């Protein structure tokens, strides 16, 4: 079974500063990785995903993440944050199992990013 | 305008009552999912369905039931057997339930059991 650990439950940062949200995963098979964002009292929106190919993945709103297989990590970064980036961010994983996991996602506990003016 | 709708947005029920949460999608997606979200615990999978008239239990199915009579609809019933039903419930869908498929989420229903 897979598991996902988001290493920080809360990350406060000032506007225009860089930010990194950390995600580590555990799996006995290869995986696909996702980052989702959730604004208060809303559903989740996909930021980016890693399926294969380049380990540096670019997403929406200026976010990017790097897949590191040896460290089993998929950290999310943004070089300069805005107030509007304040939200909760979820890292998620699904097995790359030829379709047999039916796309089921395993989520981390979430990281609340708060951007201060 | 395609998407996933969940209703109601807020729901209050007395302890011991069953309650049904609605989830409808007009994205023509085959797969649908129900998640429960609690603070600090991320999202946990309750049930999922790959095709009409078929569904499987997720990680926390006890106390919940679902049906999939139509492709666009996947209602979730929270029964009185669910020990701690107060939570935020999210419905999602994907084109096909393949590994790597993006899941699209509805806006959620916040259930409070009094």
Instruction: Give tens-digit pLDDT for A6-62.
Output: 999 999 999 999 999 999 999 888 889 999 999 988 899 999 999 888 899 999 999
Query: From the list A94, A96, A109, which residue is nearest B41 (CB)?
Result: A109
- Contact between B45 and A41 using a beta-carbon 8 Å cutoff: no
A27 touches chain B (CB under 8 A): no
**pLDDT over 90 (residue B48):** yes
Question: B65: Cβ–Cβ under 8 A, 6 or more apart, which residues?
Answer: B76, B77, B79
Question: In chain B, which among 2-31 make CB contacts under 8 A with chain A?
Answer: 4, 31
Token pair listed for B50? 């790959």
Q: What is the DSSP string of B96-109?
A: S--TTPPPEE---E
Cα of A94 vs its chain's centroid, Å: 13
Measured in Å, how far apart are chain B's first and last C-alpha atoms?
36
Q: Which helix (H) or strand (E) holds A3?
A: strand A3-6
Smallest CA–CA distance, residue A60 to chain B, in Å, is: 14
A45 touches chain B (CB under 8 A): yes
A2-11 pLDDT per residue, tens:
899 999 999 9
| Mean pLDDT, residues B103-108 | 94
Q: Which residues of A touch B45 (CB under 8 A)?
A: 104-105
> Could you give the CA distance from residue A33 to residue A91 in angstroms, rounded to a whole number?
7
């Amino acid at each position: 079974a897979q598991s996902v650990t988001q290493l920080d439950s809360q990350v406060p940062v000032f506007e225009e500063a860089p930010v990194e949200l950390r995600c580590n995963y555990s799996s006995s098979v290869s995986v696909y990785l996702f980052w989702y964002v959730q604004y208060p009292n809303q559903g989740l929106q996909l930021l980016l995903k890693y399926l294969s190919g380049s380990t540096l993945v670019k997403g929406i709103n200026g976010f990017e993440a790097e897949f590191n297989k040896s460290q089993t990590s998929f950290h999310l970064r943004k070089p300069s944050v805005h107030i509007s980036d304040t939200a909760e961010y979820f890292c998620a994983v699904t097995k790359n199992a030829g379709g047999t996991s039916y796309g089921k996602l395993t989520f981390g506990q979430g990281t609340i990013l708060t951007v201060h003016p | 305008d395609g998407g996933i709708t969940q209703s109601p947005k807020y729901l209050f029920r007395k302890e011991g009552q069953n309650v049904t949460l609605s989830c409808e999608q007009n994205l023509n997606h085959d797969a649908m999912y129900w998640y429960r979200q609690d603070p600090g615990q991320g999202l946990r999978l309750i049930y999922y369905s790959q095709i009409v008239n078929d569904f499987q239990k997720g990680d926390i199915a006890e106390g919940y039931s679902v049906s999939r009579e139509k492709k666009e609809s996947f209602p979730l019933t929270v029964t009185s057997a669910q020990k701690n039903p107060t939570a935020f419930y999210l419905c999602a869908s994907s084109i096909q339930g393949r590994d790597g498929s993006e899941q699209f989420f509805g806006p959620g229903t916040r259930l409070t059991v009094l």
